[in-house]
Amino acid sequence: MTNNIKPYLFLVLCGCSLVMLSFGYRAGFGLFMEPLSDARGWGREVLATAFAVQNLVWGVCALLAGGVADRYGPSRVLYAGVIFYGFGMWGMALSTNGLEVLSTAGLLVGAGIAGTSFGIVLPALVKVVPKDKQGWVLGVGTAAGSFGQFAIVPLIQMLISYVGWYQSLQFLSLSTVLMLGFILPLARTEPAGGIEKGDVSFSLVKVASDALKVPSYLLLVFGFYVCGFHLAFITVHMPVYLADIGFSASVGAVSISVIGLFNIFGAYYAGIFSDRAQMSRILVIIYVARAIVISLFLILPKSIVSVLVFSALIGLLWLATVPPTSGLVAKFFGTRYMTYLYGIVFFSHQVGSFTGVWLGGELYQRFGNYDGVWIAGILLGFMAALLHFYIDEQSYEYKISTTIS
């Protein structure tokens, strides 16, 4: 650890703790698919739709929250996110029909995740560390989310096994209070008056319009859709997919946990490499590798070993896309509007997440398997690699300079 990062280490730890809890809760929702659906007498498509809406709401709210965070600082968004998250999980436990679970697990939890996860926390950390450590902090912050997935998902499975899904959701809801303590240090770094006086006239619509005229930024936006498709489909449907082919519920939990464990390393080193190599080329490699790993998983016989190997390999690639993707946004346009402009990219990610989760539920109800979604994931992986191959890495900050007075 170099000396120029030590003054910011506590802030980085607080931000990482926030992301760890937020992503850890979110990664465990797939474990509730079977017990909650069985208890309420729902088909699998009910919760799949709610979780799909959750991802879409996450994307929409992340975009809006990014604008608020850029104008007023991230703490207000983070506090609101904790409130939505807590009430959403409590309401999810109480839901007795499709509309109620759509409102709680979908709308409230989606807004809660948007206000407490990568899209808000990572840009806040990037703004307080030296420029030569931005890739590092993006990798560390992303790895923290993966550690949450690794550590918290097995705990959620244990809770469900010992006290049931209902009490587990209530406990998780109450535990969001822990997140409040990690927001305070970040709040103290914000200027008292929000954005600088000279920036009051900026228009987020104009910023977005100018940025979306940059072809490389558009390619990044479309490419991140594929990342969302992969992650959300596997997170929500992997446990029930494994149960369908004869594995126990604990194997599904272990699979998601192993993905989180190996992504700690994948995300961390993706951040380091983002400071040293072309970020667009890193993304090409990641998406091609994902397509190959999924293909092999479908072709090879299923066993505990093959499930664990797949989980480990896909884990290395899981959130490894986040440091180079967010790093490219910062490289293109600087950090002034990074939260908002990354929010646009992330919205595309969440549209992909919605598609992956929803399509998984729909195709399963129609055909009784997930084969079509796995194949779509392979084709999309190769498509994303092609899109990122044509990204031109340079600064385009001058293209939105007219909006900064």
Average pLDDT, the chain: 86
Between CA 320 and CA 143 the distance in angstroms is: 9
Between CA 308 and CA 319 the distance in angstroms is: 18
Quick one: average pLDDT of 344-361? 89
Answer yes or no: is pLDDT of 280 > 90: yes
Lowest mean pLDDT among 31-45, 62-76, 197-211, 283-297: 197-211
Answer yes or no: is pLDDT of 23 > 60: yes
Between CA 125 and CA 343 the distance in angstroms is: 15
pLDDT digits (tens, 9 = 90+) for 147-172: 888 889 889 989 999 999 999 999 99
Give the number of C-alpha atoms closer than 13 A to the C-alpha of residue 46, restricted to the C-beta side. 22
Residue with the larger pLDDT of the pair 89 and 331: 89
Tokens of 111: 């807004």
Between CA 222 and CA 388 the distance in angstroms is: 9
Between CA 32 and CA 397 the distance in angstroms is: 44
Answer yes or no: is pLDDT of 58 > 70: yes
Between CA 93 and CA 174 the distance in angstroms is: 12
Quick one: average pLDDT of 55-82? 85
Q: What's residue 200's pLDDT?
A: 38
Quick one: average pLDDT of 234-251? 86
Residue with the larger pLDDT of the pair 194 and 390: 390
Share of the chain above pLDDT 90, in %: 43
Residue with the larger pLDDT of the pair 87 and 142: 87
Quick one: average pLDDT of 189-207? 56
pTM over cut 0.95? no
Between CA 366 and CA 372 the distance in angstroms is: 11
Q: Supply the Cα-derived Rg of the chain in whole angstroms.
A: 20
Residue 405 binned pLDDT confidence (cut-offs 50, 70, 90): very low
pLDDT digits (tens, 9 = 90+) for 123-147: 888 877 777 777 788 888 888 888 8
CB distance 179 to 4 below 8 Å: no
Residue with the larger pLDDT of the pair 282 and 30: 282
Most distant CA pair in the chain: distance in Å? 62
Look up the CATH superfamily of 11-403. MFS general substrate transporter like domains (1.20.1250.20)
Between CA 307 and CA 372 the distance in angstroms is: 19
Which of 25, 60, 21, 28 shows the shortest CA–CA distance to 350?
60
Q: What's residue 403's pLDDT?
A: 43
Quick one: average pLDDT of 376-385? 96
Answer yes or no: is pLDDT of 402 > 60: no
Answer yes or no: is pLDDT of 195 > 60: no
Quick one: average pLDDT of 370-384? 95
Tokens of 195: 């954005």
Answer yes or no: is pLDDT of 266 > 70: yes
Three-state secondary structure readout of the chain: CCHHHHHHHHHHHHHHHHHHHHHHHHHCHHHHHHHHHHHHCCCHHHHHHHHHHHHHHHHHHHHHHHHHHHHHCCHHHHHHHHHHHHHHHHHHHHCCCHHHHHHHHHHHHHHHHHHHCHHHHHHHHHCCCCHHHHHHHHHHHHHHHHHHHHHHHHHHHHHHHHHCHHHHHHHHHHHCCHHHHHHHHHHCCCCCCCCCHHHCCCCHHHHHHHHCCCHHHHHHHHHHHHHHHHHHHHHHHHHHHHHHCCCCHHHHHHHHHHHHHHHHHHHHHHHHHHCCCCHHHHHHHHHHHHHHHHHHHHHCCCCHHHHHHHHHHHHHHCCCCHHHHHHHHHHHHCCCCHHHHHHHHHHHHHHHHHHHHHHHHHHHHHHCCCHHHHHHHHHHHHHHHHHHHCCCCCCCHHHHHHHCC
